[in-house]
Structure 1
Amino acid sequence: MNKQPSQSNAGIKVSLDELLALSAQVRGSSLAEVRRSAAARTGLHASRWRGRGVDFRESRIYQAGDDIRHMDWRVTARSGRPHTKLFEEEREHGLLLMVDFNAGMRFGTRTRFKSVQAARTASLLAWMASASGDRVGAIGFGGGIRNEVKPNGGRRGVLQVLRALRDWDHAAGTENESLASALERARRLLRPGTRLILISDGFSADDEAWPVLARCASRNELGCVLISDPLEHAPPPPGRYALSSQGSRRTLDFADKNLRSRWPKPFDAMRERVRSEFTRLGARVVEVSTDADARRAILPFTQRVLGPRDSSA
């Protein structure tokens, strides 16, 4: 049995009780469609894709290769030109959360570690997706974690994800995994209509990740939550600070003006790179600091983006 973190570990280790309590924060909130979509019904969402489905959408001129079984004989007779029917294909929506457990996520100077804020953010998104009637799953990567929870519906699906987040956080070690490797695993779980949201500080992103991400974007909606710590945005007060990482130790003198001016630049560049790659593929990107209100930060995921037909209405 996994024990909950003690009070002294608050903000350092993921607490299942805290993740469960976050359900109260999302009452009345649900994840919105990124792309234009017709009304949802009983957990099913009308997709932007056109194909054989249950809802007739429109008729158009017959084209070579169209299924003869979908001929619209009434319009054909009325117009004198062959027409075929198009249908709105329905797809069951789901949410797949990719949560980074690489060693760099176990760091924080304000309120909590990045790893804890990542788990809290994932939990909020899972509760919101469940409120939308969506199935929820998760993939953990980094820290030796190569596990997954296949998307499942209802409260049961959310609870499976929350328990996994707690267990993965407690078991994570120092072994790193690249984003490209994790995305290849995610692709095997993705189904049409499933949304993929990465929750990471971005340091796992490698050049090989972007072609894989583009292949995911060709069939699925994407989102990204960049977790950061205030120390990555601005240097600490002037002074000498001892830092240790994976057995090595060094001292930095933050009284040095050159160091202070250079300090945020590599962090800013890394976040901008990840942001630009996701944005280029039409994905929403939000940033959540370790001391931020995660629910407020992810509100863009609850706001629907209108497509051409919606905006002209």
Structure 2
Amino acid sequence: METQDILKKVRHIEIKTRGLSRQVFAGQYHSAFKGKGMTFSEVREYQYGDAIRDVDWNVTARFNHPYVKVFEEERELTVMLLIDISGSKDFGTDLVFKREFIAELAAVLSFSAIQNNDKIGVILFSSKVEKFIPPQKGRKHILRIISELLRFEPTEKGTNISNALEYFTGMIKKRSTAFLISDFIDRSFDNALMIANKKHDVAALRIFDPGERTMPPMGLVDFTDPETGEMKTIDTSSRKNRMLYMNWWKALESYQTETFRKTGVDAVNLATDEDYVQPLVKFFKKRSM
């Protein structure tokens, strides 16, 4: 993509996502994530209307009566975007590639953050951490983030979510809200995710293209793995081959679902061929309960 094209794309994303952040997400973002960036103050008895997530279960069990933790809101929150830019992000069967879809999501979250006077930082990763953009505020900073997402070319194509999470946990000392944005085509990242979520407030945004779910019968097709470069010719008209692919995809989704459940990380699935506004609003509202 040429520089002029990137600038036009950045501007287009800014216009669209600033409006969404202001009109749709600002309030939901504040209630769903702002409250996580607080310092502990005291424990008091539960009152009607208190959030269930604030219940102190240890104190409640000790006194056989519900108690909640009381927090003092910090003046600003650090929001981190951990963004997967591996080879699979250049896949797309509809009108948009996953990479462009992710850039737009990142912009929405970034503008929501600065509207709440929060800092926003980014970790771009593949099979290694490719780039770290320290948390800052301001429109200029967000435009840089969008531009990097559209034009940055990773030096590696694979995916290692554990490595990115370990880097994040070691780099960001202050408790923050983190959005892990990926298609999660990876394994064995559950321990790193659990550790990160204990130190920070992690939410997972799983991006997928509808064309990834099934293998259509198109005869002999040459496939190239975008992350390994491996090439294979597969007979897609074979029912056995289509079933093998479907079972692989289902196993991957099962691992992802179980990992998010086990680690206590809230997750939302976002399809590139659908509007992400309603799923995100619903996701934010759920976290606010």
Structure 2 length-normalised TM: 0.76
Q: 2 CA distance for matches of 1:36 and 1:122?
A: 17
What secondary structure does 2:199 align onto? coil
Q: How far did 1:143 drift? A: 6.9
Alignment partner for residue 270 of structure 2, among 277, 281, 288? Answer: 288
Aligned equivalent of 2:100: 116
- Matching of residues 221-232 of structure 1 within 5 Å: 221-232=201-212
- Compared CA separation, residues 215 and 162, structure 1 to 2 (3 A): same
Deviations 1:132-186 (A, max 9, x none): 3322111000176621111222434423322332342xx2244435111111211
Matched-pair contact (CA < 8 Å) for 1:223–1:278: no
Query: Per the alignment, do residues 272 and 193 of structure 1 end up closer, same or farther by CA in structure 2, a change over 3 Å counting?
Result: same
Taking structure 1 as reference, are residues 211 and 250 closer, same or farther at Cα in structure 2, changes over 3 Å only? closer
Correspondent of 2:134 among 150, 159, 180: 150
Partner residue, 1:50: 40
| 1:88 maps to 2:71 | yes
Match for residue 162 of structure 1?
A: 146
Q: Residue 136 of structure 1 contacts residue 151 of structure 1 at CA under 8 Å; is this kept in 2?
A: yes
For structure 1, the 5+ residue unaligned runs are 7-13, 38-44, 60-85, 308-313
SS in 1 for 2:181: strand
RMSD, aligned CA: 3.1
CA separation in 1, counterparts of 2:140 and 2:229? Answer: 41
Shift of 1:301: 4.0
Give the match for residue 264 of structure 1. 246
Task: Name the amino acid aligned to 1:127.
Answer: F
Instruction: Decide which moves more: 280-289 or 96-105.
Output: 280-289
Structure 1 counterpart of 2:113: 129
Match of 2:162 in 1: 180
Is the contact between residue 130 and residue 154 of structure 2 (CA under 8 Å) also seen in structure 1?
no
Aligned 1:246-257 pairs, distance under 5 A: 246-257=228-239
- Name the structure where helix makes up a greater proportion of residues: 2
Give the structure-1-normalised TM-score.
0.71
Change in 2 beyond 3 A, CA 1:128/1:235: same
Fraction of identical pairs, as percent: 20
Q: How far apart are the structure 1 equivalents of 2:135 and 2:229?
A: 38
Corresponding residue SS for 1:176: coil
Instruction: List gaps (5 residues or longer) in structure 2.
Output: 46-68
For these two proteins, the number of residue pairs brought into alignment is 258
Q: Structure 1 CA distance, aligned partners of 2:111 and 2:224? A: 37
**Contact 1:226–1:271 (Cα < 8 Å) also in 2:** no
